[in-house]
């Protein structure tokens, strides 16, 4: 399928090399290709790093660390603020690029660019508010001083589902704190990050502070970095499986870690909920990013007295969405990222149907060459269906019913994941009771979207640890040094 003039222009403008220590350079290996998931066709070729290329990036990060940490906080703040403005100015082009490589609709890509840029603005404000503490020893004899200092060179590994925001919520605090960094975007969606790299250089980021490595042999290229003593921090967003592997590798050097891993969000609707609102928010919580989001509602638990009405109205809403290439007008739902993801979603739906679930809308792959899956609602989903315990990462809403508060709490907490939950009720006491009992890092009360740069994003249990955004986000990139003072 031929690209439009605009698509070609945006694609031509992206750097296709590695960014090593402030300079765009060719990779030493053969190039790797980037695909359009709506057509399965190749968009372009980009540099493909070897372990040696990646080591050069770490050399640059280690060499630049000392001078970068002495740059005035206001200056670091101004760089972030300029980058925020450049992202806003170029939002349309960045969104088009993201849609081409990732698949989501243009409206969703624009929303992500806004969300992503807000992390740069938030952390430009945090850069000048890094404080220590001065206190008296309890005995009164001496004084206690604590200071916050940058951790040091960081490796930031991001997934393909939010190619910009998962990057800026790591890059923003790393710059604000005074850390140098190597960014490794997902192989499926490297272009948005390469475009962001250019923006950050244009905003005045000094040489060596940021490197960007793209590679098709990710494990081989990353492991030597993770195990190099000069690296001081790894922030990873991705699957729990790869997170576990990286923790094992990082144990060699006791690397400081942040892990933003998988989710399996319950969406709980009590009988006293505002049903119109619950259905409207269910669409948001399920369909944002075609369901390819760690915070996507994965399991809908609806009180048995309203389960049929909820399922029927949600089916009408999802059945009415338009599926297609994200760049086209009027498209709500783009393709999934690749054939594997499409196959996994189909497998989970088939498993639920075999075990007794009913297909209320959708239920199968889309037509045509791309990796489409029809928005799907499944009713009467039995407790042993795999999609109630495995992350779906697709546009499928399984609905199960419950009768008591304790029953739904047990079901919601019966997961190895603990990222986010959504609760719909008009009873304030019940809301507090349930929110206190849920084993999650985040929850939405009568809302289906909690992501916000000013809030601490992160999970518990096997959804990982560490927080991104909010006041907490910058702490992940700072160490506390304590000094005891004898008067």
Binding site for ligand NAP (CB under 6 A): 157-161, 166, 184, 186-188, 218-219, 222, 237-239, 242, 245-246, 260-263, 294, 391, 419, 459, 463-464
Residue nearest to ligand NAP (CB): 238
Q: How far is the CB of 239 from ligand NAP (least distance, A)?
A: 3
Choose between 130 and 165: whose C-beta lies nearer to ligand NAP: 165
Catalytic residue among 35, 112, 118, 294: 294
User: Is 154 in the active site?
Assistant: no
How far apart are the C-alpha atoms of 213 and 172, rounded to whole Å? 18
- In the β-sheet with 256-260, what is the strand arrangement from edge to edge? 23-25, 18-20, 210-212, 181-184, 154-157, 233-237, 256-260, 464-465
Q: How far is the CB of 468 from ligand NAP (least distance, A)?
A: 7
Choose between 181 and 203: whose C-beta lies nearer to ligand NAP: 181
Q: How far is the CB of 27 from ligand NAP (least distance, A)?
A: 13
Q: At what angle are helices 91-102 and 106-126 packed, to 10 degrees?
A: 120
Q: State the number of CA atoms in the 13 A half-sphere of 313 facing the CB.
A: 15
Choose between 84 and 160: whose C-beta lies nearer to ligand NAP: 160
Choose between 128 and 245: whose C-beta lies nearer to ligand NAP: 245
Choose between 149 and 223: whose C-beta lies nearer to ligand NAP: 223
Choose between 261 and 278: whose C-beta lies nearer to ligand NAP: 261
Catalytic residue among 108, 118, 260, 476: 260
Q: How far is the CB of 30 from ligand NAP (least distance, A)?
A: 15
Choose between 240 and 361: whose C-beta lies nearer to ligand NAP: 240
User: Is 294 in the active site?
Assistant: yes
Choose between 271 and 439: whose C-beta lies nearer to ligand NAP: 439
Q: Which of 397, 403, 321 is nearest to 360 (CA)?
A: 397
How far apart are the C-alpha atoms of 428 and 273, rounded to whole Å? 11
How far apart are the C-alpha atoms of 308 and 358, rounded to whole Å? 12
| Residue 29 contacts residue 36 (beta carbons within 8 Å) | no
Q: State the number of CA atoms in the 13 A half-sphere of 154 facing the CB.
A: 32
How far apart are the C-alpha atoms of 237 and 135, rounded to whole Å? 37
- Residue 142 has which token pair? 């001496």
Q: How far is the CB of 242 from ligand NAP (least distance, A)?
A: 3
Q: How far is the CB of 90 from ligand NAP (least distance, A)?
A: 23
Q: How far is the CB of 190 from ligand NAP (least distance, A)?
A: 8
Q: How far is the CB of 222 from ligand NAP (least distance, A)?
A: 4
Neighbours of 251 (CB within 10 A): 12
Choose between 401 and 451: whose C-beta lies nearer to ligand NAP: 451
How far apart are the C-alpha atoms of 176 and 161, rounded to whole Å? 25
Give 307's contacts (C-beta < 8 A, 6+ positions apart): 379, 399, 401
Q: How far is the CB of 240 from ligand NAP (least distance, A)?
A: 6
Q: Which of 333, 339, 304 is nearest to 320 (CA)?
A: 333
Measured over the CA atoms of residue 250, residue 256, residue 260 and residue 261, the dihedral's sign is positive
Catalytic residue IDs: 260, 294
């Amino acid at each position: 399928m031929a690209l439009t003039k605009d698509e070609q222009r945006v694609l031509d403008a992206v750097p296709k090399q590695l960014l090593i220590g402030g300079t765009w350079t060719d990779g030493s290996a053969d190039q790797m290709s980037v695909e359009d998931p709506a057509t399965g066709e190749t968009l372009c070729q980009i540099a493909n790093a070897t372990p040696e290329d990646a080591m050069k990036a770490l050399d640059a990060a280690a060499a630049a660390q000392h001078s970068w940490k002495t740059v005035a906080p206001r200056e670091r703040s101004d760089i972030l603020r300029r980058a925020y403005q450049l992202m806003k100015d170029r939002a349309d082009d960045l969104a088009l690029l993201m849609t081409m490589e990732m698949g989501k609709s243009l409206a969703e890509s624009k929303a992500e660019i806004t969300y992503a840029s807000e992390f740069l603005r938030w952390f430009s404000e945090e850069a000048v508010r890094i404080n220590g503490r001065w206190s008296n020893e309890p005995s009164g004899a001496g004084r206690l001083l604590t200071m916050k200092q940058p951790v040091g060179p960081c490796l930031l590994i991001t997934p393909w589902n939010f190619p910009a925001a998962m990057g800026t919520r790591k890059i923003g605090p790393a710059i604000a704190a005074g850390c140098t960094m190597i960014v490794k975007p997902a192989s499926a969606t490297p272009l948005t990050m390469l475009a962001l790299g250019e923006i950050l250089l244009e905003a005045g980021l000094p040489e060596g502070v940021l490197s960007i490595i793209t590679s098709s042999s990710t494990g081989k290229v990353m492991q030597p970095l993770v195990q190099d003593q000069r690296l001081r921090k790894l922030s990873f967003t991705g699957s729990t499986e790869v997170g576990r592997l990286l923790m094992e590798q990082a144990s060699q050097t006791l690397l400081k870690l942040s892990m933003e891993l998988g989710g399996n969000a319950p969406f709980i609707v009590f009988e006293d909920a505002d049903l119109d609102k619950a259905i409207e928010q269910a669409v948001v919580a399920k369909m944002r990013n075609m369901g390819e989001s760690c915070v996507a509602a994965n399991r809908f638990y609806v009180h048995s007295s309203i389960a049929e009405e909820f399922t029927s109205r949600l089916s009408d809403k999802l059945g009415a969405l338009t599926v297609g290439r994200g760049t086209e007008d009027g498209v709500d739902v783009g393709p999934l990222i690749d054939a594997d993801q499409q196959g996994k979603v189909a497998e989970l739906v088939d498993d639920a149907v075999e075990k007794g679930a009913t297909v209320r809308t959708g239920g199968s792959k889309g037509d045509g060459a791309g990796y489409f899956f029809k928005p799907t609602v499944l009713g009467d989903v039995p407790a042993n269906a795999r999609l109630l315990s495995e992350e779906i990462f697709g546009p499928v809403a399984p609905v199960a019913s419950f009768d008591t508060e304790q029953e739904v709490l047990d079901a919601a907490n019966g997961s190895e994941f603990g990222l986010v939950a959504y609760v719909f009720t008009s009873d304030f006491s019940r809301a507090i009771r349930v929110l206190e009992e849920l084993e999650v890092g985040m929850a939405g009360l009568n809302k289906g979207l909690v992501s916000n740069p000013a809030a601490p994003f992160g999970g518990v249990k096997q959804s990982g640890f560490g927080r991104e955004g909010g006041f907490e986000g910058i702490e992940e990139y700072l160490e506390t040094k304590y000094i005891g003072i004898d008067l």
